[in-house]
A and B are shown apart, each in its own frame.
Chain A
Amino acid sequence: MRDLIVQWLTEITAPYWKSSLSIDQFVTALQETFHMVFFAMLFGCIWGFIQAIILLVTRPHGILPNRVIYHGLNPIVNALRSLPFIILLIAFIPLTKLLVGTSIGTWAAIVPLTIYIGPYMGRLIETSLLEVNEGIIESAQAMGASPLQIIFKFILPEARSSLILNLTTATISLIGATAMAGAVGAGGIGDLAISYGYQRFDTSVVILTVIVLLLLVQFVQTFGEWLSRLR
């Protein structure tokens, strides 16, 4: 299947595509980008939801206020959020080695990508959840809902639309971050733009990358907005 698509793309672009970079390489890079975005998003979501829900319920006047947990977790999140991705990528190499066994490659990049996007998504999710009208929570309590029921049957469904929009924003940030993952040999189309376009002076690769990224981000944004309007 993949071979067929690559062959077809190579044939139809042959008259226009004059570059040392083959279409096959480009498709591979695109796959790497998707791979990184998908898994970092998956782990980041898990991280983000857990972080957001813990901070939401333990905050002062939350549904289960807990000063120790709230004031303990909050600065850790801030600390992780304060590191630029390129620094995170290097600083967490020991952890990456421990988890993946290597510090090079696509899987190795997913560890710092998750650490980068998880706390960020947590903050975005927390904001969405905090937007839920307090009256809704009060009515849930008045019905005798337990804390878990309040979260899963009231807050999350009410925040759905805002959550999807915020997750869309996070996905786009993540696509941006994967461009730097080339620094640890993770590949991806951002890496192509640097190694072929910049270092080998191949402008056509830069242009292609820009166009593909543009389309990708447009698609993600449009899809997210459409999804958030569904009910």
Chain B
Amino acid sequence: MIEFKNISKHYQLKGQTIRALDQINLQIPDGSIFGIIGYSGAGKSTLIRLINLLERPNDGQVIINQKDFTALDARSLRQERANIGMIFQHFNLLQSKTVAANIEMPMKLLGWSKAEREKRLAELLEFIDLKHKKDAYPDELSGGQKQRVGIARALANHPKILLCDEATSALDPQTTKSVLDLLKKINKEQGITIVMVTHEMDVIETVCDYVAVMEQGQVIETSSTLEIFSQPKHPTTKNFIQTVLQQQLPVNILQNLENQNHNSIYSLQFLGTSAQETVVQAAIKQFDISLNILFANMTEINGSVIGQMFVQLLGDPAVIEQTIAFFQQNGVKVERSGVSA
């Protein structure tokens, strides 16, 4: 387990104290994929660098598997760092060395024999599916290939933790998906804890088990990804979720409505595996109302489905109330939809 205890980091800029991190308490369970999301400047990159102490906190402790990293001397810290892999937004491969030499670098630093290095190199190249690029130089590779080399290099010493700093931010959506799939595979097959920093909610949605939302050096919300998506509390979290899951009815749909009674629009949120169509159908059968589906979308998070539907309910107000109660009994979250500006 990775634990942040009362972490604070601040620095002076033109006589002003900038709080990069403010009283952070966070626990990252072993074997999980943990996402840290926030806008730029939120402190997320600083936070991930605290795990291998590329950045030092002014206050607080970083404890990894009961070991206080903040108390280690330089030599022991270097030894511990060798057991934590890290990949970067801009890959940070040595341009002057081949793919093979880049991947072998961490093993060389630890003084592995040539035979050991070659054996591990072959395994890694197989794993990232780049055997044919063994002797290529980084500038001959695509972004996705470079990141895969970065991943192989990070995994070379069999680390227990893999840190990903905006690892997919410089990649196109398709390549992002393949890199995320690879990370998921690493987590599943090798049980490596993955901590990733990103500003893209769909990265969190695709791979993360847990997520921490950061703003202005603070963790404003943290929980399982499913919970964050189904019950976001903080406005910033809601903004992030909005990027993946439509939370408000699109304006053009609203404008094209026949009945312009906006008070009759409700948002229905379906969580888990409750099949939404059955509930809706049952409601139409049971109650004498007109139910007009305006907009719907669904997303899958760690095997659970979250569905969002905007409906217009027209009819006797008492019946509408009964309908809403019916929905709620069936585990559907009903809200009178905020009309988007």
Contacts and interface: CB of A to CB of B under 8 A. Distances in A.
A145 to B, nearest CB: 5
A2 interface: no
Contact of B94 (A142, A146, A154): A154
Interface string A147-188: 001000110011011000000000000000000000000000
Contact of A133 (B92, B105, B106, B109): B92
Given A135-B88, A146-B78, A157 B96 contact: yes
A143 interface: yes
A142 B81 contact: yes
A153 B106 CA distance: 11
18 contacts: A133-B90, A135-B90, A136-B94, A138-B54, A138-B88, A138-B92, A139-B86, A139-B88, A141-B54, A142-B54, A142-B86, A144-B80, A144-B106, A144-B110, A145-B109, A149-B109, A153-B108, A157-B96
Contacts, number: 54
Pick the most buried of B81, B96, B110: most chain A CB atoms within 10 A of its CB.
Answer: B96
Contacts of A160: 96
A131 to B, nearest CB: 11
Nearest to B106: A143
B96 A158 contact: yes
Interface in B71-105: 77-82, 84, 86, 88, 90, 92, 94-97, 105
B96 A139 contact: no
Interface residues of B, number: 24
B326 interface: no
B295 interface: no
Given A144-B109, A145-B109, A161-B96, 19 more contacts: A133-B92, A135-B90, A136-B92, A136-B94, A138-B92, A139-B88, A142-B84, A142-B86, A142-B163, A143-B81, A143-B82, A143-B86, A143-B105, A144-B80, A144-B106, A144-B110, A145-B78, A158-B96, A231-B137
A63 B78 CA distance: 14
Nearest to B110: A144
B170 to A, nearest CB: 12
B52 interface: yes
A153 B54 contact: no
Q: State the 3 A-B residue pairs at the shortest beta-carbon distance, nearest first.
A: A144-B82, A144-B81, A139-B92
A142 B53 CA distance: 9
Contacts of A135: 88, 90, 92
A137 B97 CA distance: 15
Contacts of A157: 94, 96-97
Nearest to B94: A158
Contacts of A231: 96, 137
A163 B110 CA distance: 28
Given A135-B88, A138-B54, A142-B52, A153 B96 contact: no
Contacts of A136: 92, 94
Nearest to A145: B109
A153 to B, nearest CB: 7
A157 B96 CA distance: 6
A141 B81 contact: yes
B109 A143 contact: yes
Interface in B19-59: 52, 54
